Chains A and B, each alone.
Chain A
Amino acid sequence: MNKLQVITIILLVILIGAFSNWLLTDLDTQPRVISREVRHDPDYYLENFTATSMGENGVAKHRLVADYLEHYPDDDSVVIQQLTLDLFRQDLPPWTAQANQGVVYEQGERVELSGEVELHRPATDHDEALTLLTEKLTVYPQREYAETDAAVTITSDSSETRAIGMQLDVAQGLLELLSDTRGTYVINPR
């Protein structure tokens, strides 16, 4: 091993030592133990899981795939990391939401997505595949509905649309852009 490697290893060891030392002192200095109900601590967590919910007809309605999930009993919320949420439909390709984080409220009625939120939809017989980017999105899986008041950018191979605010009726296949809408379409004349 050359000198550089030796130095980096020594440095690493010092760093780890310092870090664990800081961790210990930090724990010790916890001023007082807050009672369990008030504290916002998870009571269970899941890792690398897939959760599929079925419609009455036994067909998958939506499917959640995520790296990590924690449940918090104090407000019964669930925090999910790195998630992919597929919203299936009968005669149209699914919308798929992806985000760094999702917080689930009201037993899955409402999911607040944040952190590089993306919505994808494969091509339909009329339109090309679409990608929608925004910073946050509220999804109501049971109602098959999503909305945001943030800026959105929707792109496909030959179009780009921007707006502020969006409402997506997944079941009906209706996407509404609420204000300041700008669409650009590339034309291939024949």
Chain B
Amino acid sequence: LSSDREQPVNITADRMRADEREGLSHYEGDVFLKQGSLEIRAEEITVYLEEGEVTRIIAIGEPAKLQQQPDDREMVYSEARRMKYNTRNGELLLLEDAWVKQSGNRISGKRIHYDTSNSIVTANRDTAPKQSGDSQDDGRVRAIIEPKEKQDAGE
């Protein structure tokens, strides 16, 4: 929901380590984050604080899983091995084997930019050098947009 990013962020986990010098809280073990309708499950979530305010959240998983209910459309699902969430402007970066799915449309790529305020996805080519052994995924964006009628028929 567009109101998600004003909601408190709730995180549950087995353990947490707060580093006073770095200003971060690192949650580990069955980590679950919830902010309004936005939910992320991951192995590790690190919360970065500035003057006591959360500014950035990084989720790492094998993969980390996200879901969010947009105001006017069906639930969005996403997976990525790394998620960078800017809690100030609500923008979320999905990195490494990332994909986003919503009502039959699926976008995957190395690097997907997802705006949690209005659930807009923009995927851009991976500018990082092509790692060896990455033959299958050459960083190109793959979007599967199903024709509208087929979607309705499918529902």
Contact = CB atoms under 8 A, between A and B. Distances in A.
A176 B24 CA distance: 12
Given A126-B22, A189-B5, A190-B89, A183 B16 contact: yes
A187 B14 contact: no
A63 to B, nearest CB: 20
Contacts of B25: 161, 183
Contacts of B35: 187
Contacts of A185: 8-9, 11, 47, 54
Interface string B93-124: 00000000000000000000000000000000
Interface residues of B, number: 34
B21 A181 contact: no
B12 A181 contact: yes
Contacts of B63: none
A181 B27 contact: yes
Contacts, number: 103
Contacts of A186: 8
Contacts of B144: none
B50 interface: yes
B52 A127 contact: yes
B10 interface: yes
A173 B52 contact: no
A165 to B, nearest CB: 9
A181 B16 contact: yes
A175 B26 CA distance: 10
Of B9, B21, B52, B54, chain A has the most CB atoms within 10 Å of the CB of B52
B15 interface: yes
A107 interface: no
Contact of A184 (B10, B16, B27): B10
Contact of B19 (A157, A173, A177, A188): A173
Contacts of B9: 183-185, 187
B6 interface: yes
B150 interface: no
Given A126-B22, A183-B27, A183-B47, A189 B12 contact: no
A158 B27 contact: no
Contacts of B14: 179-181
A188 B18 contact: no
A173 B21 CA distance: 6
A121 B49 CA distance: 16
B88 interface: yes
Interface of B: 5-25, 27, 35, 47, 49-54, 87-90
14 contacts: A123-B52, A125-B23, A125-B51, A128-B52, A157-B52, A175-B17, A179-B15, A180-B14, A182-B10, A183-B13, A185-B11, A187-B5, A187-B53, A189-B90
Interface of A: 91-92, 121, 123-128, 156-159, 161, 163, 173-190
Given A126-B51, A179-B14, A181-B15, 11 more contacts: A125-B23, A128-B52, A173-B20, A175-B17, A177-B16, A177-B18, A179-B15, A181-B11, A183-B13, A184-B10, A187-B54
